[in-house]
Amino acid sequence: MVERNGRSHETSTPSGSTLSPPDSFVEQANVADPAIHERFETNWPDCWTRAADLLSWDDPYDTVLEDDDAPFYRWFSDGRLNAAYNCLDRHLESGRKNHAAIRWEGKQGERRTYTYQDLYVEVNEFAAALRDLGVEEDDVVTIYLPMIPELPIAMLACARIGAPHSVVFAGLSADALATRMDAANSEFLITCDGYYRRGDAFNQKSKADNARIGLEQDVRTVVVDRLGDDMPHVLGDDEWDYHELCAEFAGETVEPVSRNAEDMLFLMYTSGTTGQPKGVVHSTGGYLAHVAWTSHAVLDIKPEDTYWCAADIGWITGHSYIVYGPLALGTTTVMYEGTPDYPDRDRLWEIVDRNAVDVFYTAPTAIRAFMKWGPDYPGRHDLSSLRLLGTVGEPISPRPWNWYREHIGGGNCPVVDTWWQTETGAVAISTLPGVDEMKPGSAGPPLPGIDAHVIDSQGEAVKPGETGYLTIARPWPGMARTLYDGDERFVTEYWQRFSDPDADEWRYFSGDTARIDEDGYITVLGRVDDVINVSGHRLGTMEIEGAIADVDGVAEAAVVGRSNETGNTEIYAYVSTEREREPDASIRSAILESIEAAIGPIARPAEVIFTPELPKTRSGKIMRRLLEDVANGEELGDTSALRNPEIVGEIQAEVGDGS
Ligand code: WTA
C-alpha cells in the first residue's frame, strides 16, 4: 500500500477504481488483521465469540449457535446479560462515569451533554417509574418520541427492566401508531407534547391521543414536556408527566434484570410485502454482540471518540448505531434533533467542527443533497477531526461516494458503504476500513462470518457482473429471531423462496437484488418486493395504495418509485377514479390527506397521475414494473401481454405532461 500525501492509493481495475485505506488509518484501526475473513471462515460459528466477548455477561454462554430448529436460530443461548448494564453500568465500573455518553444538539440550538453517570441516573429513575406504572418483564412498551434524549433514556430504561420497546418513528401518523400498538398489544406509551420542525411547533400528543381512541386495550401514557409554553397540554386519565415521574423516583436505582441472550430486546415495525407492517423481533445477546462488533470493526469506534450517526432513532439505523452499538462500546454518541439545512446548509458541518467528530455516518440521500448544495458549506468549517465516513440505507453511486470522501473526508478518510436491514440487525456487507480495499459504488465483500450470496431464481450463484437475488446462507447473531405477528409469517417472508425445508437447507432472502464482481464485492441494486426506499425509509406500496383506495371515488391505485434528477427516490401514484367521478383537485388533496393520515408525511407522493385504467396482465395483475418504467422515462419492453396495452400511451402522455 502506497501512501501519497496522506491519501489512499488509487488503482484502476476492469471493475472500476479501487482505493486502499491510508496507512495512517490502518495503523490505528480496531481491526487491521488481513487474515480476518479467513479466520472467521475456518472457525465458523465460533468466530462470533469475538463479537460476544465485547459484552459483559452475567452468566457466560457455552453454546455459540443452536440450529436444530432452523430457521429459528439461537445464539449464545445459555448466556445471560442485560443490555442497559452493558451500555451504562460497566462503563461506570471501569472509571469512565464522567465521560460524555450523549451529546445532544437540539433543533433550536439547545445543547445537552449526558455523562455516563448522568445517563445512568436518568435511566434508573425512569426504569423505577415504569415499574411503578405496572410495566413488567416482557411487556411491550411503545415509544413515540422525536430525537430528544428522553428517547434513548426510555429505551435503556425498558432494557433495564426486561421490557421490550417498540419505537415508532415520530413522523408516522396516529393510525400508524395505533396499528403498531394494536399488533403488539402494547399497554404502555411514552410520547411528548410536541416537537419543533424547522421553526414550527408540532403537536405530537394529539396524534397519540387519536391513536389511543381506536385501541381496545387500556393504555398508560407518559408524556415528555418538550415544548413547555409553546405547546400547552393537559394530562388526562392514565397519563403522567415524564419529569414529574422521574422527580418522584429521584436517586432510585433499579437492579438490571438478567435476561437470557435469546429474550427479546426490542420490536421494530417495518414495511413488507403486504399492507400489515412486520414486527421484527430482536434478541438481547446476539443483537447486542453483532451491533457492538460492527461498531468496533466497521465503524472503528473507540471509547475516546466522538461519533455521530445522523439518522433517526425511530428506525433501525438509530437503534443499532446511535444507541446500542456506540453506548455498548462506551463512546460519545452525538444525537441531532434537526435537519441538515436549518438554519443553514452548513448545520451538520458546524456540529462536526464544534464537537470534533471522529466518525460520521449518514445516508446517500443526504450526501446527494450536500453535493447539490456544493462544497462551500462544508468548506466553511474545520472537518479535520474526521477519520472515517460511513453510508447506509440506499445504494450510493461512485460520484456522490467520491464527493463525500473528497469534500467531507478531506480525501483521506476511508468510506464504508454498509449494507444491512432492519432484519439483519446490524451491518452484514461492507468493507472493513482497516483491511479491505474500497470500490466506490460497491458495498464490499460480506463481513467476516456473513455468508452472503448473489443467486439466480434456481438458487445457483450468478456469474460476476450478472444480477441476482441477495441471500444469506448461514445464520448470524444479529438476525431477526421471528416476526411478532407469528413464526409462520417469518418463514414465508424471508425463508420460503430459497430454502428447502425437507433437506433442512435454509437460506435467508433479503428482498434485494445485487451484482457481485470477480473479487466477491457486492453492489446492491434495490428491492424486488413491494417496498419503496424513500430517503432510506422503507415504505410499503400496499400500505400507500390502501390509503388511496380508502378515498371516496377512487377505483384503483398503484404506487411506484421514481428516481429523480438528484438520484433520490420519489413516490409516483397512479390512480383511476370511478366512472362517475372526474379526477380533480379535490380528489387529489383527499388522496394526499388520506396517505398522511394512514402513514405520515414521508409517504406523500411527488406526483398523483390519473388514468382511466391501470395497465394489467391478462390475469388481472397490475403491471407495476411497467408503471415504474413509465415514471422513470425508460424504454418500455413488450407490452403485448397486457390486457389493455392501449392505456400505456395515455399514461406516458400524462406523466410527460406532469413533469
Ligand atoms: C437498502 C436500513 C444499497 C436495501 C439499515 C435494504 C441499501 C433496505 C444499503 C433496508 C446499502 C440499506 N446499499 N442498499 N449500503 N443499505 N439498503 O430495513 O434495499 O430500513 O434491503 O434498514 O435498505 O432498509 P431498512
CA dist., res. 212 & res. 610, Å (int):
35
Q: Which residues, 6 or more positions from 61, have their beta carbon under 8 angstroms from its beta carbon?
A: 52, 76, 77, 78, 79, 261, 285
Q: For ligand 1, atom 24, which residue shows the shortest CA distance?
A: 421
Please name which of 99, 95, 126, 125 lies closest in space to residue 113, comparing C-alpha atoms: 99
Q: For residues 463 and 450, is the Cβ–Cβ distance under 8 A?
A: no
Give pairs for 632-638: CB < 8 Å, separation 24+: 632/562, 632/563
Q: Is the pLDDT of residue 5 over 50?
A: no
CA of 494 to the centre of ligand 1 (A): 15
Q: Is the pLDDT of residue 115 over 80?
A: yes
Share of the chain above pLDDT 90, in %: 82
Segment 121-147 shows an average pLDDT of 98
Q: For ligand 1, atom 10, which residue shows the shortest CA distance?
A: 421
For residue 613, what is its C-alpha cell? 385504467
Q: For ligand 1, atom 3, which residue shows the shortest CA distance?
A: 395
For residue 510, the ligand 1 atom closest to its alpha carbon is 21
For residue 315, the ligand 1 atom closest to its alpha carbon is 20
Q: For ligand 1, atom 14, which residue shows the shortest CA distance?
A: 394
Place of cell 415504474: 628
Pocket test for ligand 1, best of 167, 420, 422, 494 (most atoms within 8 A of CB): 420
Q: Which residues, 6 or more positions from 433, have their beta carbon under 8 angstroms from its beta carbon?
A: 21, 25, 29, 298, 300, 388, 414, 416
Can you name the residues that pair with 112 across neighbouring β-strands? 104
CA dist., res. 458 & res. 468, Å (int):
10
CA of 534 to the centre of ligand 1 (A): 11
Q: For residues 128 and 135, is the Cβ–Cβ distance under 8 A?
A: no
Pocket test for ligand 1, best of 538, 539, 569, 602 (most atoms within 8 A of CB): 538
CA of 241 to the centre of ligand 1 (A): 37
For residue 430, the ligand 1 atom closest to its alpha carbon is 15
Q: What is the pLDDT of residue 602?
A: 92
Q: Reduced to 3 states, what is the DSSP secondary structure of residue 178? A: helix
Q: What is the pLDDT of residue 290?
A: 98
CA of 393 to the centre of ligand 1 (A): 4
CA of 420 to the centre of ligand 1 (A): 5
CA dist., res. 39 & res. 449, Å (int):
9
| Least confident span in 122-136, 447-461, 551-565, 622-636 | 622-636
CA dist., res. 162 & res. 256, Å (int):
8
CA of 9 to the centre of ligand 1 (A): 29
Can you name the residues that pair with 415 across neighbouring β-strands? 389
Pocket test for ligand 1, best of 512, 523, 528, 530 (most atoms within 8 A of CB): 512
For residue 525, the ligand 1 atom closest to its alpha carbon is 3
Q: What is the pLDDT of residue 199?
A: 74
Q: What is the pLDDT of residue 12?
A: 63
Please name which of 478, 481, 452 lies closest in space to residue 54, comparing C-alpha atoms: 478
pTM: 0.93
What sign does the CA torsion over 214, 215, 219, 222 have? negative
Q: Reduced to 3 states, what is the DSSP secondary structure of residue 253? A: coil
Q: What is the pLDDT of residue 11?
A: 67
Q: For ligand 1, atom 5, which residue shows the shortest CA distance?
A: 421
Question: Where does the pLDDT of residue 643 fall: very low under 50, low under 70, confident under 90, or very high at 90 and above?
Answer: confident
ipTM of the complex: 1.00
CA of 430 to the centre of ligand 1 (A): 12
* Helix (H) or strand (E) segment spanning residue 652: helix 646-658
∠ CA 551-554-560, nearest 5°, is 95
Residue range 359-397, pLDDT digits in tens: 999 999 999 999 999 999 999 999 999 999 999 999 999
Q: What is the pLDDT of residue 236?
A: 92
Q: Reduced to 3 states, what is the DSSP secondary structure of residue 216? A: coil
Distances (CA, A) of 247 to 121, 124, 417, 427: 11, 12, 43, 39
Please name which of 475, 448, 332 lies closest in space to residue 51, comparing C-alpha atoms: 448
Q: What is the pLDDT of residue 16?
A: 65
Question: Where does the pLDDT of residue 118 fall: very low under 50, low under 70, confident under 90, or very high at 90 and above?
Answer: very high
Q: How many residues are present in the chain? A: 659
CA dist., res. 439 & res. 359, Å (int):
20
Residue range 250-278, pLDDT digits in tens: 999 999 999 999 999 999 999 866 668 89
Please name which of 477, 626, 578, 334 lies closest in space to residue 46, comparing C-alpha atoms: 477
CA of 256 to the centre of ligand 1 (A): 33
Place of cell 391501470: 614
Please name which of 165, 131, 160, 327 lies closest in space to residue 255, comparing C-alpha atoms: 160
- Going by their DSSP bridges, the two strands 165-167 and 264-270 should be labelled as parallel
Residue range 140-193, pLDDT digits in tens: 999 999 999 999 999 999 999 999 999 999 999 999 999 999 999 999 999 999
CA of 610 to the centre of ligand 1 (A): 31
Q: For residues 576 and 613, is the Cβ–Cβ distance under 8 A?
A: yes
The runs of H, that is alpha helices, within 218-322 are: 242-248, 285-297, 316-318
Q: Is the pLDDT of residue 3 over 50?
A: no
CA of 419 to the centre of ligand 1 (A): 6
Q: Is the pLDDT of residue 475 over 70?
A: yes
Residue range 485-503, pLDDT digits in tens: 899 999 999 999 999 999 9
CA dist., res. 644 & res. 649, Å (int):
11
Please provide residue 407's backbone torsions phi and psi, each rounded to the nearest 5 degrees. -90, -25
CA of 363 to the centre of ligand 1 (A): 10
Provide the mean pLDDT of the chain.
Answer: 94
- Ligand 1 neighbours, Cβ below 6 Å, are 270, 315-317, 392-395, 417-422, 443, 510-512, 524, 526-527, 533, 538
Distances (CA, A) of 439 to 20, 38, 270, 443: 9, 20, 30, 8
Concatenate the DSSP letters of all residues of 621-647 into one string.
Answer: -B-HHHHHHHHTTPPP---TTBS-THH
Q: Is the pLDDT of residue 4 over 60?
A: no
Distances (CA, A) of 11 to 15, 405, 430, 469, 521: 11, 16, 19, 29, 16
Segment 301-321 shows an average pLDDT of 97
Pocket test for ligand 1, best of 267, 419, 515 (most atoms within 8 A of CB): 419
Residue range 405-457, pLDDT digits in tens: 999 999 999 999 999 999 999 999 999 999 999 999 999 999 999 999 999 99
Q: For residues 253 and 243, is the Cβ–Cβ distance under 8 A?
A: no
Q: Reduced to 3 states, what is the DSSP secondary structure of residue 505? A: strand
Q: Reduced to 3 states, what is the DSSP secondary structure of residue 241? A: strand
∠ CA 282-283-289, nearest 5°, is 110
CA of 85 to the centre of ligand 1 (A): 30
Residue range 48-106, pLDDT digits in tens: 999 999 999 999 999 999 999 999 999 999 999 999 999 999 999 999 999 999 999 99
CA of 466 to the centre of ligand 1 (A): 20
Q: Report which listed range, 328-332, 539-543, 552-556, is most confident.
A: 328-332
- pLDDT higher for 521 or 4? 521
Q: Is the pLDDT of residue 535 over 90?
A: no
Q: What is the pLDDT of residue 659?
A: 44
For residue 524, the ligand 1 atom closest to its alpha carbon is 3
Residue range 223-259, pLDDT digits in tens: 999 999 999 999 999 999 999 999 999 999 999 999 9
For residue 418, the ligand 1 atom closest to its alpha carbon is 15
Q: Is the pLDDT of residue 398 over 70?
A: yes
